[in-house]
Amino acid sequence: MSIFAFLSKRPLRIALAGAALCAIPASIATTAPAIAQSEAGDLNRAVSALRQIATLKADFSQTDRLGQTADGVLTLKRGGKIRFDYGEDQDLLVISNGRSLYLVDYEVNQVQRWPIRNSPLGALLDPERDISRYGKLVQTGNPDVISVEVRDPKRPEFGMINMIFVRDVTAPGGLELNTWVALDAQNNRTTVRLRNHRYGVSVPDSTFQFRDPRRSSRRPR
């Protein structure tokens, strides 16, 4: 079972966590034209921009296909590490240690694990592998906005992610990741919008560890 299939069977607050892991807007669900040479350059710049992020913290707003929203803080570190923190009032954590993606539910003392490459987030955490091989540009009509769609046609069960970058000279590589939308094999759609980006902040590796609720009822702080 994929992470998205699991989330679709959980209560709404869990489904919201899935939003961090999938979605794509209807306006993008069209066939993109062939990538011209200049477009290929933008694709390479998007890969370079993600690779140049050593650390990042940003506030996020996440919306699922039903229009339900959740807010929190995203922490990302080079090496495939990511953490979605939904706040102290939510007994839920989505986290990656660079090898696996975990959904930690402290309410029911449950942990679910998926390989990173089996999630649309693989394109965000390992852009060299996924975007370079499976990415294509989608026309936006705005020269300051770059939209990259990533999917492996041989593995539709891994879903699809669309990342939207805005040109910003202050961001690594001159592009700032503004939004991503993911769609899983079950058509569960989620949109994540970032704001208040903070690059180069100190982020210890312990940020991407968690206390296993199957061994303790206390949530880590």
- How is residue 117 written in tokens? 């490459």
pLDDT at residue 207 is higher than 70: yes
Q: At what angle do helices 37-51 and 127-134 cross, to 10 degrees?
A: 170
pLDDT-derived band at 32 (thresholds 50, 70, 90) equals: very low
**Contact partners, residue 158, CB within 8 Å, separation at least 6:** 117, 118, 119, 120, 122, 151, 152, 185
- Kindly report the pTM of this predicted structure: 0.77
Cα distance between residue 139 and residue 24, in whole Å: 14
pLDDT-derived band at 8 (thresholds 50, 70, 90) equals: very low
Higher pLDDT, 93 or 215: 93
Cα distance between residue 53 and residue 49, in whole Å: 7
Q: Taking the CA of residue 168 as centre, how many other CA atoms within 13 Å lie in the half-sphere pointing to its CB?
A: 13
Alpha carbon distances (Å) from 130 to 109, 137, 172, 181, 220: 33, 14, 19, 16, 33
The CATH number of 3-208 is: 2.50.20.10
In this prediction, residues 106-122 reach a mean pLDDT of 79
pLDDT in tens, 35-78: 444 566 888 898 899 989 999 999 999 998 888 888 999 999 99
Task: State residue 120's pLDDT score.
Answer: 64
pLDDT-derived band at 33 (thresholds 50, 70, 90) equals: very low
Cα distance between residue 50 and residue 48, in whole Å: 5
pLDDT in tens, 119-170: 667 777 776 666 777 888 988 999 999 999 988 788 777 788 899 999 999 9
CB-count exposure of residue 124 (10 Å: 0-12, 13-18, 19+): buried
pLDDT at residue 31 is higher than 50: no
